[in-house]
Structure 1
Amino acid sequence: MKVAVIGCTHAGTAAIVNTAKLYPDAEITVYERNDNISFLSCGIALYVGGMVEDPQGLFYSSPQQLAELGVNTKMRHEVVSVDTDAKTLQARNLETGEVFGDTFDKLIVTTGSWPIVPKFEGSELDNIVLSKNFNHSNTIIEKAQQANHIVVVGAGYIGVELVEAFQLNGKQVTLIDAEDRILSKYLDPEYTDKIEQSLREHGIELALGQKVTRFEGENGKVTKVITDKGTYAADLVIMCIGFRPNTDLLKGQVDMLGNGAIVVDEYMRTSKSDVYAAGDSCAVFYNPTSKHAYIPLATNAVRMGTLVARNLVAPTVKYMGTQGTSGIKIYEDNIAGTGLTETAAKDAGLDAEAVLITDNYRPEFMPTHEPVMLKVVYEKNTRRILGAQIMSKVDLTQSINTISVCIQNSMKMEELAFVDFFFQPHYNKPWNFLNSAGLGALPEVPQRETAHV
């Protein structure tokens, strides 16, 4: 069996390693256009902020490790075309320029995503950089050393983590986003209001509800970011607006969403026989809405990549879908979320309600008993749990993984109220705060006894 793999980050590495182990006789060839593989991009802010001193810790595989598994890894090689019917591809050696062909029995597409880069006036100025891969992170570190005013465009996870890292390193930082709130895809206002307050208290300037219109500079280097509402000094600009699936190679050959994300079934198969896909290049089945959605997360990628290998010869293990579970630490606040926010649920046309509780996570007689804020979103009629968010100075984020399982299994609020959790004063109260959220949304009790026949 001849297997070709395009791209080797999270999904690609998982697919390659498992394919090599499961099918020792397979001939596996990997095409990767970068000079490194398996970079944990979620660690960029930690690396930039100096918390991660040895960047090699951000890699969990290498061409040498893959070679030990018998994999032929072609680094700095870009696949320029694919014919899924003829099962052929054309690749270019980026070092020599040589273009050559190859064939495959099975194709695994793990081409990932790439940052969205609008064509603003002045975008060609120096010191305007992206934040996606290892080379980007090294560029950011190098340029940040000489910068005093740093502007980050995009208030998603990466943008928020970067402004914190820059502020801790003594920089003057501005965070710009077109939305009125930071992290608006992940959290409801009850949470983002508190996080925004924390960022401002640490001296970070928030320019929210503003769209960048152009960049201005001197001597070829950026000096100002201009929005529709203001002007901001900048020695360095980091673009973190979002990501798009990197799937041009297969356009017109397999089914995709409108944004280009490849649609796969529960066995990671595309609409074309013997062509599989995984990771940020794909749409995933989103359990809260029962629809395919684009949710680029490393966790989704490694699961999907592993399943590609398991299902490469025959359907074996199904993908259970995702809740888009994620977490972030901002200064002293530990924050996590899963499924739909209340805002997103209503935007999706669901009749949603929510329970918001703030309680001390363990008994008040304990020496410390920090408060936890938990919000659980549910569908009004079915009472099915749709999502949850949590925030506390104590790390209670693993509780969101529990809610993720609840959503996965279509549990209702009353089931969450009475599910079995242990009690021990070091850790929680007799009613765990997850139980308490469920108790806050119990169904009404009938006022008259129903006659039994």
Structure 2
Amino acid sequence: MKVVIVGGGAGGISTASNIRKLDNDIEITVLTRDNKVAYSPCAIPYVLAGVIETFDDIVMRTPEDYKNKNIEVITEVEVTAVDSDKKTVTYEREGKETVMDYDKLVLATGGNPFVPPMQGVDLDGVFKIRNIADGIKVQEAMKDAKSAIVTGAGLIGIEIAFALKNQGLDVILSEMMPQIVPRSLDKDMSDILVKYLEMEGIKVVLGKPITRLIGDGKVERACFGDEEVYDADMVIMATGVRPELELAKMAGCNTGRWAIIVNDRMETSVDDIYAVGDCVESRDLILGSNTISHLGTTAVRQSKTLARTICGKKSKFNPVLNSMVSKVGKLEFGAVGYTTGFAMQNQIRPVVQKVQALTRARYYPNAKPMDIKVICDGNGTIIGCQIIAEERVAERIDTMTLAITEGLTCFDLSNMEFAYAPPVSMVTDPLILAVEEVSKKFN
């Protein structure tokens, strides 16, 4: 059997590796337009910040490494056609066109950075960041820059803004919404993060999209609305990604509101064509409807399911909650499930409680404040959690991910056993404090 995988990101390369773990005989070919594989784009901001020394440090495997596993990785190619009737893919490399047949085809085409249509986006000094090549361009431009604007205050935008500030640039972080990280945090929680960023010297501009960029060949200024103008030697467009669907549509795969429709075995509507990663829609655990989950963790989980499917083993991809965590400077922030606003948009009347606790016993040195927000539905079932602190956020977000997945109520969680030692927690864990408080709102 011959498996061809289009895309060398987390979804594609992990699918190849997981198939090989299950079967030594399947012929596997990965086609990617990138010149590197097996790296985490999430690490790019930390290279720019100087926390990780070089981009080479975030590349975990080379095409030669995969060749030793009997996986062929062909880099710097552009796949131009898919024929699902003849079961072929066509790609171009160094001016030469090649037609390759397949028995099973995996579309792991990911997404393309979304750049809002506006005057000046084609000027020199305007960048997007999706891969290492983009990161290298930004790194070079930083050497001669004194000021930068990052537009789009999702995770990558915030991390990039902090990285540039860490390297000595004057930085403005802009977001067209009235808050940062709007998909994962409520405004009162995001305000804590904004306060920290501003304390670190980053100017945050909210509710005002960039309307045009000005410069003579190279960007010099950015206009917000009709009035505000800020100088900038470079502008980073961190305005999200859009799934790359051209090949899926060419192959006849059904697409939904955002991306390719797949079942829980990662099968598309076309026989012997599968899809994983940013280019597919996932099932939302709480509502049961389709959603998008542009997270590397989701892509890797999907790749394990798909590998088992292709190898003829029982498999099922579970619905998503889009749990996330990040760190900028000293501050960690994470979230899982629904925000208060998103719950209300979906006709769920949320019951909410926010508490402040400590990361360690209050008498233990260097205990840090921890802000926790818990969101329940009208029955007390936990549907969301947001946490901000200087330490130990990730493990508590993981705990709440498990609680929501298992359908626990705030009453269930408040009676559960948690480990304790003064250096790592309060005797009553901050999560327990939060769910005990929200439980009081129910009779």
Kindly provide the CA deviation profile for residues 167-217 of structure 1, in whole angstroms up to 9, marking residues without a partner as x.
121111111211111111111122211111122222212221112221110
Mapping 1:317-356, distance limit 5 Å: 317-356=315-354
Name the structure 1 match of 2:253.
254
Q: 2:177 aligns with which of 160, 176, 179?
A: 179
Aligned to 2:38: 38
Query: Cα distance, 1:444 vs. partner?
Result: 7.6
For the residue of structure 1 that corresponds to 2:137, the secondary structure is helix
Aligned to 1:222: 219
1:76-120 CA-partner distances (Å, limit 9, x unpaired):
111111122332221111x2x112212111111111111101221
Contact 2:362–2:426, Cα closer than 8 Å, also in 1: no
Q: Which residue of 2 aligns with 1:25?
A: 25
Runs of 4+ in 1 over 4 A off after TM superposition: 443-446
Q: Which residue of 2 aligns with 1:116?
A: 114
C-alpha distance in 2 between matches for 1:5 and 1:195: 39
1:126 paired residue among 119, 124, 133: 124
Pairing of 1:366-381 with structure 2 (within 5 A): 366-380=364-378
Mapped contact 2:306–2:315 kept (Cα < 8 A): no
Which aligned pairs between 1:265-284 and structure 2 lie closer than 5 A?
Answer: 265-284=263-282
**1:323 CA drift (Å):** 1.3
CA distance in 1 between counterparts of 2:420 and 2:326 reads 26
Instruction: Check whether the contact 2:380–2:442 (CA below 8 A) recurs between aligned residues.
Output: no
Deviations 1:220-259 (A, max 9, x none): 1110111214111111111100011112111261222223
Structure 1 range deviating more: 231-240 or 244-253? 244-253
User: Which of 363, 366, 377 pairs up with 1:365?
Assistant: 363
Equivalent residues in 2 for 1:423-434, closer than 5 Å: 423-434=420-431
Give the CA deviation at 1:413.
Answer: 1.1
- What is the alpha-carbon root mean square deviation over aligned residues? 1.6
Report the CA distance between 1:313 and its aligned residue. Answer: 3.6
Distance 1:241 1:441 in 2: 35
SS state at 1:29 partner = strand
- Tell me the TM-score normalized by structure 1: 0.94
The alignment partner of 2:439 has SS state of coil
| Closer, same or farther: CA 445–215 of 1 in aligned 2, 3 Å | closer
1:362: how far off? 3.3
Q: What amino acid is aligned across from residue 2 of structure 2 in structure 1?
A: K
Name the SS of the counterpart of 1:198 in structure 2. helix
1:268-319: CA deviation from partner (whole Å, max 9, x where unpaired): 1112221111111111122132222111001001111122111114351211
**3-state SS of paired residue (1:295):** coil
Secondary structure at the counterpart of residue 175 of structure 1:
strand
Amino acid paired to 1:59: V
| Offset at residue 147 of structure 1 (A) | 0.7
1:85-164 paired onto structure 2 within 5 Å: 85-93=85-93, 95=94, 97-164=95-162
Matches of 2:370 and 2:91 in 1, distance apart? 53
Identity of aligned residues (%): 27
Hey, what's the Cα distance between the residues in 1 that align with 2:140 and 2:441?
Answer: 61
Q: Distance in 2 between matches of 1:362 and 1:73?
A: 48
Asked whether the equivalents of residues 354 and 375 of structure 1 are also in contact (C-alpha less than 8 Å), the reply is yes
8 Å CA contact retained: 1:414, 1:443:
no
Q: Is the 8 A contact 2:369 2:389 kept in 1?
A: yes
* Distance 1:310-1:302 versus aligned 2 partners, 3 A rule: same
* 2:362 is equivalent to residue 397 of structure 1: no
User: Would the aligned equivalents of 2:359 and 2:392 in 1 still touch at CA under 8 Å?
Assistant: no
Range 131-140 or range 417-426, more displaced: 417-426
Q: Which sections of structure 1, spanning at least 5 residues, go unmatched?
A: 447-453
Query: Does residue 418 of the first structure (1) align with residue 415 of the second (2)?
Result: yes
What residue is the counterpart of 1:50 in the other structure?
Answer: 50
Q: Is the 8 A contact 1:45 1:165 kept in 2?
A: yes
The partner residue of 2:296 within 291, 295, 298 is 298
Q: One-letter code of the match for 2:420?
A: F
Q: Distance in 1 between matches of 2:181 and 2:271?
A: 38
Q: TM-score by structure 2 length?
A: 0.96
Task: Tell me by how many angstroms 1:443 deviates.
Answer: 6.9
The CA distance in 2 between the partners of 1:383 and 1:105, in whole Å, is 49
* 2:351–2:438 CA contact under 8 A, matched in 1: no
- Alpha-carbon shift at residue 415 of structure 1 (Å): 0.7
The answer as to whether partners of 1:374 and 1:389 remain within 8 angstroms in 2 is: yes
Q: Contact 1:90/1:100 (CA < 8 Å) preserved in 2?
A: yes
Q: Which residue, 191, 197, 200 being the options, matches 2:198? A: 200
Q: 1:440 aligns with which of 429, 437, 440?
A: 437
SS in 1 for 2:15: helix
- Aligned partner of 1:309 in structure 2 is 307
Matched residue SS, 1:179: coil
Q: Structure 2 vs 1, CA of residues 250 and 338 (structure 1 numbering), >3 Å: closer, same or farther?
A: same
**1:190 maps to what in 2?**
188
Question: Per-residue CA shift, 1:109-141, capped at 9, x if unaligned?
Answer: 111111101221122211111111000000000
Counterpart Cα distance in 2 of 1:106 and 1:204: 49
Tell me the CA shift for residue 143 of structure 1. Answer: 0.4
Amino acid at match of 2:69: L
Range with bigger deviation, 400-409 or 415-424 = 415-424
Measure, in 2, the Cα distance between the counterparts of 1:310 and 1:354.
Answer: 40
Partner residue of 1:6?
A: 6
In 1: Cα distance, 2:64 partner to 2:146 partner: 40
Amino acid across the alignment from 1:247 = L
Q: Is residue 2:410 matched to residue 1:408?
A: no
